[in-house]
Amino acid sequence: MTRTIVASATREIIIGFDQPFCVIGERINPTGRKKLAAEMVAGNFDTVIRDALEQASCGATMLDVNAGVTAVDPNATEPALLVQTLEIVQGLVDLPLSIDSSVTAAIEAALKVAKGRPLVNSVTGEEEKLEAILPLIKKYNVPVVAISNDETGISMDPDVRFAVAKKIVERCADFGIPAHDVVVDPLVMPIGALGDAGRQVFALLRRLREELKVNTTCGLSNISF
């Protein structure tokens, strides 16, 4: 059975189909939260602290940490802000963390200060992204979320999304990253755009497990849009 290990400084979590369901709290993310973004840019982390503690108390298994505030401040330096946010959160809770950024420099900066074995969120199927992110995954020996889209965007066809996931798993192997350190997000389509989205993603999750032998994750809230 494929098992992905993530850890904080004091707590280890195993992700796997034979393990308890892993809930990743996603509140620490200023994307779409202009008030939070403005607070973070101003050096006010009260909301971050509250969200971290509340999610932990509500039973989150892990916490996702994102510091993408460029919608509010295009000149913001994401690497420094992500490091600051990450250090605050890991000082508050003993949960493993997910480093969430599309900026390679921010991911590396966060990996340098992260305690334990965080999850990196994420890499997509674009070759440029793979070449930038996968060396960091190998260097720091951490697991990574593989998002099933590439240069062509997000496909409504589950077979295409499977093919992208397979490509990422294979490219990870090229870099010496084992399949158990790749957690695939097959992308849950909103039912407003695809009425069969729920059944479709369940079939895709089963296929990823059986054919690629990887663990999976998904943004369940996407289904309602």
pLDDT confidence of residue 222: 62
pLDDT confidence of residue 5: 99
Could you give the angle at which helices 46-57 and 34-41 cross, rounded to 10 degrees? 120
Which pair of tokens denotes residue 190? 């909103």
pLDDT confidence of residue 92: 98
Residues 6+ away with beta carbon under 8 Å from 86: 65, 97, 99, 110, 113, 114
Rounded CA separation 168/29 (Å): 25
Phi, psi of 54 (to 5 degrees): -65, -40
Kindly list the structural domains of the chain, giving each domain's residue range(s) and its CATH number in brackets, ordered by start: 118-219 (3.20.20.20)
DSSP symbol at 192 = T
Q: Mean pLDDT in each 10-residue stretch from start to end of the chain (225 residues)?
A: 97 97 96 94 98 98 96 82 98 98 97 99 98 99 98 94 98 99 93 79 95 94 58
pLDDT confidence of residue 224: 55
